[in-house]
Structure 1
Amino acid sequence: MIINLLLFLIMLFLLIKSAEYSITYSSRLARSLRMSEFLISFFIVAVISVFPETTISIVSSLKGVPELGLGTLIGSNITDLTLVLGIVVLLSKRDGLTIQSKILRKDFVYLILLLLPVLLGFDAHFSRIDGLILIISCIIFFISLYIEGSRFKKTDHQNKYIKNSFLLLISLAFLLTAAYYTVEFGVKFAEDINFPPLLIGLVVFSIGVCLPEMLFSIKAVKRNHNTLALGDLLGTVIIDATLIIGILALINPFDFDPLLIYIAGSFMFISGLLVIIFIKTGRQITKREAIYLIGFYILYLIVELSARNFLL
């Protein structure tokens, strides 16, 4: 038990340090490419941050249990939009998380992309056509976001993007590796102290796959890089909800428990709606609103547990 605890703490330390370096090189890369920090975090950091849940989802699909992957993707999105964002805002400086990026005006599009997998999966089945629709929607959105974001380029003319890109990728690789082993040893320690298996899966595992973006975002707001934090979280959520679910459906069209969409899918969309409403009111997410988000996550856990226990 002591060994697992020590290894968990060591991995947690490495996770925090790698998050710090990721912030540094993300910011430098944004300056050297003369792009906004939001775009860098949305396109690069978020794409790499989704590796844990993407790996779980693809492996589960290849093994014939795609429902596990779908549950991981939707569950991690709810966690990112409520618990993770709430914690990030509470730990931010001043009164909350101020939103400055003009690119965030695409709020309606974010909601459509979150609603799309819910609508397509309402029949408890994802076909290859559904998968193509999700993938194409993601690609079109990324292209439009890049085109619009290019209007807001930075003016720094440093030409060090190759070095900064390499160092960012290295730091993100350490971030993912440390996150993986933090979850690994965290679960083992939880088992050592007889933590309930259901809660290990529902809480430890769902939070575990969100560790890269959570630590990255916390470090970002601590260093006044709010757009880096929000870009990573929103990018991760959009990629999971469209591109990754689409890839799952293309690999192996599948049926799943309709409760997954009815409960988790609805909570995912409502979570996104709450975030957009909070952003639109005063162009910031306040600490009081952060508490509401965390409370909504707790409500999701209660509803999920109650529904599962009722059906057992």
Structure 2
Amino acid sequence: MLATVALLVVGVAMLVFGGDRAVEGTSALARRYGVSTFFVGITVVAVGSSLPEIATAIYGSLYGAGDLVVGHIVGSATSQITLGIGVVALVGPLVVSRGKVAAYGGGMLAAMTVMAALVATGGGVSHLEGVLAVALYVVFLAALYEHEDYGGLAERTSDTTRARAALRTVVGLALVVAGGHVLVSSGRALAVETGVPAYLVGVVTGLGTTLPEITVAVLAVRRDREGIAVGTLLGSNITDPLFSLGVGAAVGGLAVSGNVLLPIAYMTGVSAVVLALLAREGAMERRSALACLLCYLPAVLL
């Protein structure tokens, strides 16, 4: 069993390191075009840092580990909206306009609701439903780009060449692909060896792979880039329930058990609470940030 746990840790490490390299490369390329920091955060960084979840969903579909995939996505999304927002708000002042909270937070809740509906009907997500989820995500990005006002332009980079950025992206993607295979195969084996539900294994690994998003958000707010900080966290929570889950299901369908429904409902409910705090306060207070951190605990116990 120790060897299986070691492989699981290696898989998470490969996903985290590979995702970080891919985010660095894609973000550098995006910033060369001067798009806004919030747009970079909610699209390029969010999709890039969600590569671990995307890879896990694909391999989970191929290996018939639907509960592990859903648990991984729920664990990642819940930790970002609770631990991520809470830690960022404690590190520095987290000031976000109510308009952005309403627009992108609403998109996040809609994505989670779609995920819940797909999983609750038919015992899983079919190939066609996966394709539709991906299509919905593409429509969301298109609408986002259409209404992008380019406020808060990201700094253009001159020291990072396109070749270096592309190399980082390729290396990162390779590590993510390999890490996804290691994580899913070892996660399934650990669930069998210990009798722990595959879903719970997914929740724990989801926390591990969400570290890149939280790290990016913390560094961003310390550098007065609240747009990237919040955009990354909210963007990933739109990407994972729609795009990551959709891609995995589109590959071969995802069969899941009824045990995942309550945690999905909690993920959606606690996300609505955190968004309400952000919208009400404008700048999240310290006590609200601490409350966000505490809200993560039930996700592991459900």
TM above 0.5, one fold? yes
1:198/1:122 CA distance change after superposition, 3 Å: closer
1:130/1:284 CA distance change after superposition, 3 Å: farther
Range with bigger deviation, 43-52 or 198-207:
198-207
d(CA) in 2 for partners of 1:115, 1:47? 19
d(CA) in 1 for partners of 2:264, 2:159? 39
* 2:44 alignment partner AA: I
1:54-203 → structure 2 map (5 Å cutoff): 54-90=54-90, 92-93=91-92, 96-100=93-97, 103-106=100-103, 107-123=105-121, 124-150=123-149, 152=151, 154=153, 160=158, 163=161, 166-167=164-165, 170=168, 201=201
d(CA) in 2 for partners of 1:172, 1:229? 24
Superposition deviation, residue 145 in structure 1:
0.8
Partner of 1:226: 226
Please say if residues 72 and 202 of structure 2, whose CA atoms lie closer than 8 Å, have aligned partners that are also in contact.
Answer: no
1:137/1:203 CA distance change after superposition, 3 Å: closer
1:284/1:30 CA distance change after superposition, 3 Å: farther
d(CA) in 2 for partners of 1:176, 1:217? 24
1:230/1:254 CA distance change after superposition, 3 Å: same
Q: What SS does structure 1 have at the residue aligned with 2:284?
A: strand
Superposition deviation, residue 162 in structure 1:
7.7
Rg comparison, structure with higher value: 1
Superposition deviation, residue 197 in structure 1:
9.7
Superposition deviation, residue 163 in structure 1:
2.7
Superposition deviation, residue 160 in structure 1:
4.8
What runs of 5+ residues in structure 2 fail to find an aligned partner? 3-8, 187-193
d(CA) in 2 for partners of 1:256, 1:62? 14
Superposition deviation, residue 65 in structure 1:
1.9
d(CA) in 2 for partners of 1:278, 1:172? 39
Superposition deviation, residue 153 in structure 1:
6.6
1:146/1:169 CA distance change after superposition, 3 Å: farther
Partner of 1:214: 214
d(CA) in 1 for partners of 2:254, 2:171? 31
Please say if residues 41 and 232 of structure 1, whose CA atoms lie closer than 8 Å, have aligned partners that are also in contact.
Answer: yes
Deviation track 1:223-277 (CA, whole Å, cap 9, x = no partner) reads 221111111111111111001111222222233111202x111012112212221
1:177/1:284 CA distance change after superposition, 3 Å: farther
Partner of 2:45: 45
Range with bigger deviation, 140-149 or 202-211:
202-211
Deviation track 1:271-302 (CA, whole Å, cap 9, x = no partner) reads 22122211211323322222111111112222
d(CA) in 1 for partners of 2:174, 2:38? 20
1:260/1:169 CA distance change after superposition, 3 Å: farther
1:218/1:67 CA distance change after superposition, 3 Å: same
Superposition deviation, residue 29 in structure 1:
6.0
d(CA) in 1 for partners of 2:227, 2:174? 21
* 1:109 alignment partner AA: G
Partner of 1:293: 292
What runs of 5+ residues in structure 1 fail to find an aligned partner? 2-7, 188-195, 305-312
TM-score under structure 2 normalisation? 0.75
Range with bigger deviation, 158-167 or 146-155:
158-167
1:173/1:43 CA distance change after superposition, 3 Å: farther
Q: Number of aligned residue pairs: give it.
A: 277
Please say if residues 35 and 150 of structure 1, whose CA atoms lie closer than 8 Å, have aligned partners that are also in contact.
Answer: no
Please say if residues 32 and 161 of structure 1, whose CA atoms lie closer than 8 Å, have aligned partners that are also in contact.
Answer: no
Deviation track 1:186-224 (CA, whole Å, cap 9, x = no partner) reads x9xxxxxxxx99699477523211111121111111222
d(CA) in 2 for partners of 1:233, 1:53? 14
1:297/1:121 CA distance change after superposition, 3 Å: same
Superposition deviation, residue 110 in structure 1:
2.6
Deviation track 1:64-106 (CA, whole Å, cap 9, x = no partner) reads 223211221122111111122212222x22xx41114954441
* 1:53 alignment partner AA: E
TM-score under structure 1 normalisation? 0.73
d(CA) in 1 for partners of 2:147, 2:163? 22
d(CA) in 1 for partners of 2:201, 2:243? 24
* 2:56 alignment partner AA: I
